[in-house]
């Protein structure tokens, strides 16, 4: 009975991880602009890989005691995914990638550069002489 429950937990974790990773990659392929596309992999795929690793942890600690090495990769992935997403967003803002009209937010970095001085300068030199 207990074995069946543990096997069910492992199977659930593996399928949930696969489904989350697939949904994240589907978002990466399907969404419109970079700022939307950043959401799928940085949240969903991390959760999917974490679920799969926890399933592997339960699988390997069934036979001979707890095995916690897999937890190491899970923690590492959960720490590093936001950092790399932040760096990707910064580089996208630096390159001034065009947002879709439906993307909300209006970051300063994306505003088009307007001339600072609005004083009208009188044309010099190329105006016809009166």
Partner 1 sequence: MIDTALWIALALFCAAIVLNFYRAVVGPSLPDRILAVDTMYMNSIALIVLFGIWVNNKDYFEAALLIAMLGFVSTIAVCKYLLRGDIIE
Among 29, 106, 118, 122, binds partner 1 (CB under 8 A): 29
> According to the binding rule CB under 8 A, does residue 99 interact with partner 1?
no
Among 15, 82, 107, 109, binds partner 1 (CB under 8 A): 15
> According to the binding rule CB under 8 A, does residue 107 interact with partner 1?
no
Query: Considering only residues 56-95, where is the footprint of partner 1 by CB under 8 A?
Result: 56, 59-60, 67, 69-70, 72-73, 76-77, 80-81, 83-84, 87-88, 90-92, 94-95
Q: Three-state secondary structure along the chain?
A: CHHHHHHHHHHHHHHHHHHHHHHHHHHHHHCCCHHHHCHHHHHHHHHHHHHHHHHHHHHHCCCCCCCCHHHHHHHHHHHHHHHHHHHHHHHHHHCCCCCCCCCCCCCHHHCCCCCCCCCCCCCCCCCCCC
Are the C-beta atoms of residues 70 and 55 closer than 8 Å to each other? no
Q: Which residues bind partner 1 (CB under 8 A)?
A: 4, 7-8, 10-12, 14-15, 17-19, 21-22, 24-26, 28-29, 34, 37-38, 41, 45-46, 48-49, 52-53, 55-56, 59-60, 67, 69-70, 72-73, 76-77, 80-81, 83-84, 87-88, 90-92, 94-95, 97
């Amino acid at each position: 009975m207990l074995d069946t429950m543990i096997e069910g937990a492992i199977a659930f974790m593996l399928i949930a991880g696969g489904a989350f990773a697939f949904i994240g990659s589907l978002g990466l392929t399907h969404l419109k602009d970079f700022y939307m596309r950043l959401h799928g992999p940085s949240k969903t795929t991390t959760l999917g890989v974490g679920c799969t690793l926890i399933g592997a942890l339960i699988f390997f600690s069934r036979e001979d005691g707890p095995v916690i090495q897999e937890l190491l990769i899970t923690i590492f992935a959960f720490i590093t995914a936001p950092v790399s997403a932040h760096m990707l967003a910064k580089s996208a803002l630096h390159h001034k990638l065009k947002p879709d009209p439906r993307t909300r937010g209006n970051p300063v970095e994306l505003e088009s550069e307007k001339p600072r001085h609005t004083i009208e300068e009188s044309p010099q030199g190329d105006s016809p002489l009166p």
